[in-house]
C-alpha cells in the first residue's frame, strides 16, 4: 500500500460476526483477553447501522480490565488519560465509536493517516481490500518481531493484540515498530 494513500473504511457491508469491528484483544494476567463491545440485535445488518448496547456496563468493565492488565507496563501512566477518553464516549453507533477511537490512537501515535468512509458497497474494489484479512477466530500470518509485554515471562510473546498493548509497552517507539510490519 502506498504510504500516502488514503484508507477507505467499509460501512455498507453486512456486519460480520466475531470480527475486530467490535472487539480487541489485550494481554491480561491469565493470557489473551477479548474485550467485546456488545451490540443491539435488532435485525439491522449494515455495519454503519449497528448500534452499541449500553444495557451492560461494558465501558467500565473494559477500562477496569485495561487498567489491571497494563498499570504496571512501562508507558501506561503516560497514556492513561488519553485511553480513558475512549471509555468516556457514549456513541450510539459502533462505527462512530471506532472512528473516534482511531482519532485518539492516531493522536497518541502522532500520525495523521488520511481515511474516509466508502460511498457504496463494492464486492471487488479496485483498491487493496483488507476486509477479510484479519480474523478474530484465527491467528494472523503477519510476521511480528517480539517486544516486551508485561506478562510475557508467564505466557511468552502474544501477537495480534490491540495497539494499546504496543503503546503501553513500547511508548514512543510504537510508530517505528508499526512501520516495520508488513501486512
Residue 122 CA to residue 24 CA, distance in Å, equals 26
96: which DSSP letter?
Answer: H
User: In terms of C-beta density within 10 A (0-12 exposed, 13-18 middle, 19 or more buried), how is residue 126 classed?
Assistant: exposed
- Helix/strand/coil for 77: helix
User: What is the separation, in whole angstroms, between the first and last Cα of the chain?
Assistant: 9
Residue 9 CA to residue 67 CA, distance in Å, equals 29
Cell numbers standing for residue 156: 511468552
Task: Please give the average pLDDT of every successive group of 10 residues along the chain, which has 183 residues.
Answer: 73 88 96 96 86 94 98 97 95 96 96 88 80 80 91 94 97 93 64
CA atoms lying within 13 Å on the CB side of residue 113? 19
Note the pLDDT of residue 4.
60
Every domain of the chain and the residues it spans: 7-180
Q: What's the predicted TM-score (pTM) here?
A: 0.90
Contact between 31 and 155 (Cβ < 8 Å): yes
Note the pLDDT of residue 127.
82
CA atoms lying within 13 Å on the CB side of residue 152? 13
Amino acid at each position: 500500500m502506498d504510504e500516502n494513500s488514503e484508507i477507505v473504511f467499509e460501512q455498507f457491508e453486512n456486519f460480520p460476526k466475531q470480527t475486530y469491528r467490535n472487539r480487541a484483544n489485550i494481554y491480561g494476567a491469565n493470557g489473551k483477553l477479548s474485550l467485546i463491545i456488545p451490540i443491539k440485535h435488532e435485525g439491522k445488518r449494515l455495519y454503519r447501522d449497528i448500534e452499541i448496547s449500553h444495557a451492560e456496563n461494558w465501558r467500565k468493565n473494559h477500562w477496569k480490565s485495561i487498567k489491571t492488565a497494563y498499570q504496571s507496563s512501562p508507558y501506561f501512566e503516560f497514556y492513561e488519560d488519553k485511553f480513558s477518553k475512549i471509555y468516556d464516549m457514549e456513541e450510539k453507533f459502533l462505527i462512530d465509536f471506532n472512528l473516534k477511537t482511531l482519532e485518539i490512537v492516531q493522536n497518541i501515535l502522532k500520525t495523521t493517516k488520511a481515511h474516509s468512509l466508502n460511498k457504496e458497497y463494492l464486492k471487488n474494489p479496485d483498491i487493496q481490500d483488507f476486509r477479510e484479512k484479519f480474523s478474530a477466530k484465527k491467528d494472523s500470518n503477519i510476521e511480528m518481531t517480539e517486544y516486551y509485554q508485561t506478562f510475557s515471562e508467564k505466557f511468552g510473546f502474544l501477537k495480534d493484540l490491540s495497539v494499546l498493548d504496543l503503546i503501553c509497552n513500547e511508548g514512543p517507539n510504537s510508530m517505528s515498530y508499526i512501520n516495520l510490519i508488513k501486512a
